[in-house]
Chains A and B, each alone.
Chain A
Amino acid sequence: MRFSFSLFAVVITLAICVPGRAQGRTYRLGSTPSEEEIKARDIAISPDGKELPPGSGTAKEGATIFAQKCAACHGPNGNGGGLTRGIVPLGNAKPVKIGFSLVPYATTVWDFISRAMPQSKPGSLTVNEVYAATAYVLYRNDIIKETDVLDAKTLPQVRMPNRDNFLPAEPGWKPGQKRPFGYYP
């Protein structure tokens, strides 16, 4: 309904005042960002890893970075401390209700370390440091080897233990459909 109405709005408005204009720009507000601006802000990484930047790192390198920039919150062995959750439960083969234990893609780990770590200075790690820190976390969870090199090609290929263990609450259900009684979640 909303979509068809929006089309209606576009058509009418075009007819009134924007002759010959292609789809969009009904109100002609906002400005066109430069390629550089988009590139600088586009930090989200998809599961297929197509946005991953060039660079690389290993768990061995990551151990050094962890000791310098992560251990203050995550503990010397990554077991966590205080209110800060540890890194070790990540990707447990047997799902349990521990925060962050259910990460399905290695790109998710890279993305979050890149945008939010370390907590004292989020986004300050270099690309190579993010690859290395990601490798260290995955190595500590027995998902990769200490010497495995993570880069834009190898990271999306890392298979997280729970990749196939996620279900929609009611298989086949889509937003907007009626659910069986009590089938919530």
Chain B
Amino acid sequence: MGSHSHSDRRRFLTRGGALVSFVMGAVRSVRGQTPAPEGIAKDNLAYGQPSKFDNTIRRTLGQATAISDTALTTPLQDLDGIITPSGLHFLMDHVKGVPDIDPKQHRLLIHGMVDHPLVYTMDEIKRLPSMSRIYFLECNANNRPIRGPNGESVQNVHGRMSTSEWTGVLLSVLLNECGVQKEASWIVAEGSDANKYTMSIPMAKAMDDILVAYAQNGEPVRPQQGYPLRLVVPGWEAIRSVKWLSRIKVVDQPYMAWHESGNNADTIPNGKGLWYRFEVGPNSVITRPSGGQRLAGRGFYEITGLAWTGAGAVTKVEVSVDGGRSYKPAELQQPVHRFAHVRFRFPWTWNGEEVVLQSRCTDERGEVQPTVAEAAKNLGVSPDYFYQADHFNGVQPWKVNRDGSISNALFL
């Protein structure tokens, strides 16, 4: 957190000044008070749409001509930079349908092992000191290897991740307002969807950098992403970033909710279940050229992709154009944001021969992304294990064939 603390302190001092004026009685309506305009439809003029020649869209795995409202992948191969447009953010819902929430009726209740339980309206939350951060969210089932034609696209294999600029209030601010009691060690966060989706999070993370976000890429969080309020848990598997957040209970143990116990455990050969893994491992993938694409012919191409890690900052991405025999450092797009996707670029000239392209991420802790063989060896499993396991961060090789077509070379 060190790199942010100075600016935060300055920021607080500014806010502190504002606070004094509130307390002195010079209270003005500042945010969340603008009435909604009546009579203007949200059409292509009121809210712009992409060109009709552009077909950058989300997809549902295994559906060639239709998409589902509960599983949508981000078209990574068609995107540039690091920000995912909000309408292209991935969606993997464990709930039945996206709730239709009127923010005027929405309340956030914080209770449990606190000195003062509090309930907040959206207007009240927006009056609190805000913070914007660029963070990735990644489904824990992302980059699970896929057999057959569905494995031939980075959107299918890696598209359950996106990066947004999130704005909201630090969860620690809200918890401090309530006065967390000494014995408390976890929080239980709950959404207001039909299933009241629930996740347990350790207090140390809750007090560190979790955002209670109401804005995504500058506008209100999209309904599919949790409108009007969601948790954003930086660097951790996105299953903990509870959408439609309406309740936080401060407790002294993990509550073993349905979606965090059995549903998100993997088993290993000795019959044991692996669970409560939080941080995403160091990871990267080449998004162009990638599976399913075809090179027009020999000559110059820029290799580009994304790297990310739950440890914080990506410090190095290396690209191999010989199937991993040798690696060279790629250029990282600056600034590198902690817990955000990092765009990397690597100049390359294709000589028309068969080659395998892949990338490897190193993070600020010095953790290195393994190949599938290395990951399998460390777990004591055969590489095939990863076909049925979540939480995979192996190197993704793409094979460029002589005709320019590109295929997934993970299990050659």
A102-B273, A183-B378 are contacts. A44–B117 as well, Cβ < 8 Å? no
B348 within 8 A of A: no
Question: How many residues of A are counted as interface, with CB atoms below 8 angstroms from the partner's CB atoms?
Answer: 71
On whether the beta carbons of B205 and A175 are closer than 8 Å, the reply is yes
B274 touches A165 (CB 8 A): no
The answer to whether B1 touches A1 (Cβ under 8 A) is yes
- The answer to whether B266 touches A44, judged by C-beta atoms less than 8 angstroms apart, is no
Q: What is the distance, in angstroms, from B397's C-beta to the closest C-beta of chain A?
A: 16
Chain A residues with Cβ below 8 Å from B311 are 178
- Assess the B391–A184 pair: CB atoms within 8 A: yes
Digitize A1-39: 1 where CB-to-B-CB distance is under 8 Å, 0 elsewhere.
111011011101100111000111111011111000110
Find out whether the CB atom of B378 lies under 8 angstroms from the CB atom of A169. Answer: no
* A5 in contact with B8 (CB, 8 Å): yes
Q: Which residues of A contact B2 (CB under 8 A)?
A: 1
Q: In the complex, A22 Cα to B177 Cα: how many Å?
A: 11
Docked-complex contact B115 and A100, CB < 8 angstroms:
no
Min CB distance, B48 to chain A, in Å? 35
Q: A24–B261 contact, CB under 8 A?
A: no
Tell me which of A3, A8, A31, A176 has the highest count of chain B C-beta atoms within 10 A of its own C-beta. A176
User: Which of A111, A122, A123 touches B258 (beta carbons < 8 Å)?
Assistant: A111
Q: Does B5 lie at the interface of the complex (its beta carbon under 8 Å from any beta carbon of A)?
A: yes
Residue B96, interface by CB 8 Å? yes
Which residues from chain A contact B221 at a C-beta distance below 8 Å?
Answer: none
Tell me the total A-B contact number using a CB cutoff of 8 A: 226
Interface 0/1 of A164-185, CB less than 8 Å to B: 0111110000011011111111
Complex Cα–Cα for A137 and B177 (A): 42
Closest 6 CB pairs of A and B: A184-B281, A182-B370, A24-B179, A102-B262, A185-B391, A30-B118
Besides A2-B209, A9-B12, A178-B365, 16 new A-B residue pairs in contact (Cβ under 8 A), listed by A number? A3-B208, A22-B115, A27-B128, A27-B129, A29-B128, A30-B177, A32-B118, A33-B111, A47-B256, A108-B261, A116-B196, A169-B277, A175-B236, A182-B368, A182-B378, A184-B281
- Write the chain A residue with the least CB distance to B251: A46
Residue of A nearest to B268 (CB): A167
Bound CA span A116–B368, Å: 40
Q: Which of A52-60, A64-72, A89-97, A143-151 contacts B (4 or more CB under 8 A)?
A: A89-97
Per the 8 Å Cβ criterion, residues 122-167 of B in contact with A are 124-125, 127-129
User: Would you call B96 and A185 a contact (CB within 8 A)?
Assistant: no
- A105 interface residue, CB < 8 Å from B? yes
**Which of A2, A178, A181 has most B Cβ within 10 Å?**
A2
What 1/0 flags go to A98-129 for Cβ under 8 Å of B?
01111111011001100110010011000000
Q: Give the number of residues in B that approach A within 8 Å (Cβ atoms).
A: 86
Contact of B207 with A180 in the complex, beta carbons under 8 Å: no
Q: Which residues of A contact B (CB under 8 A)?
A: 1-3, 5-6, 8-10, 12-13, 16-18, 22-27, 29-33, 37-38, 41-48, 90, 94-97, 99-105, 107-108, 111-112, 115-116, 119, 122-123, 162, 165-169, 175-176, 178-185
A-contacting 9-mer, from B16-24, B78-86, B316-324: B16-24
Once A33-B118, A178-B366 are accepted as A-B contacts, the answer to whether A185 and B374 lie under 8 Å apart by CB is no
Q: Which of A16, A116, A185 contacts B16 (CB 8 A)?
A: A16
B263 at the interface (CB under 8 A from A): yes
B253 within 8 A of A: yes
CB–CB A23/B276 < 8 A = no
Complex CA distance for A29 and B393, rounded to whole angstroms: 42
Interchain CA distance A90-B366 in the complex, whole Å: 40
Closest-CB distance, A20 to chain B (whole angstroms): 14
> B245 within 8 Å of A by Cβ?
no
Which of A32, A96, A115, A184 makes the CB contact (< 8 A) with B267? A96
Which chain B residues numbered 236 to 280 have a C-beta less than 8 Å away from chain A? 236, 247, 249, 251, 253, 255-258, 261-263, 265-267, 271-279
Residue interface bits B98-118, CB-to-A below 8 A is 1, else 0: 000000000001010001111
Contacting pair A107 B256 (CB below 8 A):
yes
Q: Are A44 and B119 in contact (CB under 8 A)?
A: no
Partner of A100, one of B118, B236, B263, B390: B263
Contacting pair A122 B272 (CB below 8 A): no
Residues from chain A with a CB closer than 8 A to the CB of B351 are none
Asked whether A115 lies within 8 Å of B195 as measured between CB atoms, the reply is yes
Residue in A3, A47, A48, A166 with the greatest tally of chain B CB atoms within 10 Å: A166
Across the interface, which residues of A come within 8 angstroms of B378, CB to CB? 180-183
Give the distance to chain B from A37, nearest Cβ to Cβ, in Å: 7
Contact indicator per residue, chain B 179-211, by CB within 8 Å of chain A (1) or not (0): 100000000101000111010001011011100
B367 located at the interface, meaning its Cβ lies under 8 Å from any Cβ of chain A in the complex = yes
Cβ-defined contact, B111 with A108, below 8 A: no
Chain A residues with CB under 8 A of B275: 102, 166-168
Asked if A25 contacts B374 (CB within 8 A), the reply is no
B173 at the interface (CB under 8 A from A): yes
B374 and A44 form a contact (CB under 8 A): no
On whether the beta carbons of A175 and B279 are closer than 8 Å, the reply is yes
A173 to B367, CA, bound (A): 14
CB distance A2 to B172 under 8 Å? yes
Residues of A with C-beta under 8 A to B393: 184
Taken together as a complex, chains A and B put the C-alpha atoms of A103 and B124 apart, in Å, by: 38
- Mark each residue of chain B from 370 to 412: 1 if its CB lies under 8 Å from any CB of chain A, else 0: 1000110111000000001111110000000000000000000
Q: Which residues of A contact B261 (CB under 8 A)?
A: 102-105, 108
